[in-house]
A = this chain, B = another copy of it.
């Protein structure tokens, strides 16, 4: 792993406790495809800072607890060792753990739900990975999306799980046609731009966004660049299409395009002009799908989470054989070996059966 911290890597090999911490940090890093413990450290710092500023420590605690629970569940299920070591069983957990205390009120049953959900996220990761590898595609954050949809939807049926900030369920209605105006001008635009990467972790905070971008930078300059481009495209396009100004300013149009841009632009395809244009089309479509799914989930009173990223990236990865100039060979099970940048080699794609 050329992640530039070889002393740490050696310690992780020799010491079981360090190794466990390393696996969990990589798990956090894999939220944006980075198999790098330092990246994971910055991502966790972004969550902790955002939770601290918002006065909601349960979000930071939840994220870390769920990360550990998801990882331990993977160990108990005896999963494929290399996938485990790359943190591929942690990234859905950390997102489950950040999401549940964001939307539900903090009480004992919420913690029960969070822990069950974190454990289940690992099972769902194995299930979705097994299905998607049929077509050489990774699970992405779909295990997080699916599991957490179930968790927060359940709150509507269970009186002991009060909702903190979600819904209420409402039929969609056409957005007002007035052109929004950005007050405070450029600073607000820049803040929205930085909140995009932070909202990947459900954090509404520009400083957290800077920490996320730094986390990417220490692992991959391409990833940092594509993340910033993805967020910029999202702001420009959602503004042009006349989206709600509050949503744009909160970075809510940005987090899925950030992931799509990084995933298509430099993780699952090799960067090139051809790939950049393809990734741009995917990023633009992700903004449209974000608007579409916001309307779709409105009657249920739940967030879309990163579903726009997942659906669009799957649609843009499934035909991938054709993007390399002359592939003509079938995609092997799993990712195409050798055509992704080193730091994210196996991309979020566990080989759950332990075969080479």
Indicate if the CB atoms of B292 and A153 lie closer than 8 Å. Answer: yes
How many angstroms between the C-alpha atoms of A159 and B179 in the bound complex?
8
Q: Which residue of B lies closest to A328 (CB)?
A: B354
Q: Is the beta-carbon distance between B355 and A151 smaller than 8 angstroms?
A: no
**What chain B residues lie within 8 Å of A170 (beta carbons)?**
171
Distance in angstroms from A202 CB to nearest chain B CB is 19
Closest residue on chain B to residue A287 by CB atoms: B154
**A173 and B168: CB pair below 8 A?**
yes
Taking a contact as CB atoms under 8 Å apart, the answer to whether A157 and B171 are in contact is no
Q: Does A52 count as interface, using CB distance less than 8 angstroms?
A: no
Residue numbers in B under 8 Å from A284 (CB-CB): 116
Interface residue tally on A, bucketed by range: 35 or more
What 1/0 flags go to A141-179 for Cβ under 8 Å of B? Answer: 000000001110111111111110000111111111111
Q: Given B123, B285, B325, which contacts A315 in the complex, CB threshold below 8 Å?
A: B123
Among candidates B131, B174, B352, residue contacting A156 with C-beta atoms closer than 8 Å: B174
Nearest B-chain residue to A289, judged by Cβ: B150
Contact B175 A315 (CB under 8 A): no
Q: A274's closest neighbor in chain B, by CB?
A: B76
Name the segment of A22-30, A56-64, A218-226, A240-248 touching the other chain.
A240-248
Q: Is the C-beta of A119 less than 8 angstroms from some C-beta in chain B?
A: yes
Any B CB within 8 A of the CB of A78: yes
CA distance A105 to B149 in the complex (A): 33
Q: B300 touching A296 by the CB < 8 A rule? A: yes
- Known contacts A109-B240, A130-B135, A314-B127; decide if A291 and B174 are in contact (CB<8 Å): no
Query: With the chains together, A325 CA to B149 CA distance in Å?
Result: 32
Q: Judging by beta carbons under 8 Å apart, are B295 and A156 in contact?
A: yes
Distance from A350 Cβ to chain B, minimum over Cβ atoms (Å): 10
Chain B residues with Cβ below 8 Å from A109 are 240-242
Per-residue contact bits, chain A 100-116, to B (CB 8 Å; 1 contact, 0 not):
00000000010001001
Task: Assess whether B124 is in contact with A158, with CB atoms less than 8 Å apart.
Answer: no
Asked if B119 and A289 sit within 8 Å, CB to CB, the answer is: no
> Do A352 and B321 touch (CB < 8 A)?
yes
> Judging by beta carbons under 8 Å apart, are A352 and B319 in contact?
yes
Q: Determine if A188 is an interface residue (Cβ-Cβ < 8 Å).
A: no
- Known contacts A131-B135, A300-B172, A315-B127; is A291 also within 8 Å of B321 by CB? no
Query: What would 13 more interface pairs be, CB under 8 Å, given A124-B315, A126-B318, A153-B292?
Result: A127-B314, A127-B319, A128-B318, A149-B292, A154-B241, A156-B173, A156-B294, A160-B177, A160-B242, A161-B242, A296-B300, A328-B353, A328-B354
- Interface of A with B (CB < 8 Å)? 77-79, 109, 113, 116, 119-120, 123-124, 126-128, 130-131, 134-135, 149-151, 153-163, 168-180, 238, 240-244, 281, 284-285, 288-296, 299-301, 314-319, 321-323, 325, 327-328, 330, 352-355
The 4 closest A-B pairs by CB, nearest first: A126-B319, A159-B242, A157-B291, A127-B318
17 contacts between A and B (CB under 8 A): A77-B322, A120-B285, A124-B315, A150-B289, A154-B291, A157-B291, A157-B295, A158-B175, A159-B174, A159-B176, A159-B177, A160-B242, A163-B174, A169-B173, A295-B300, A296-B300, A330-B355
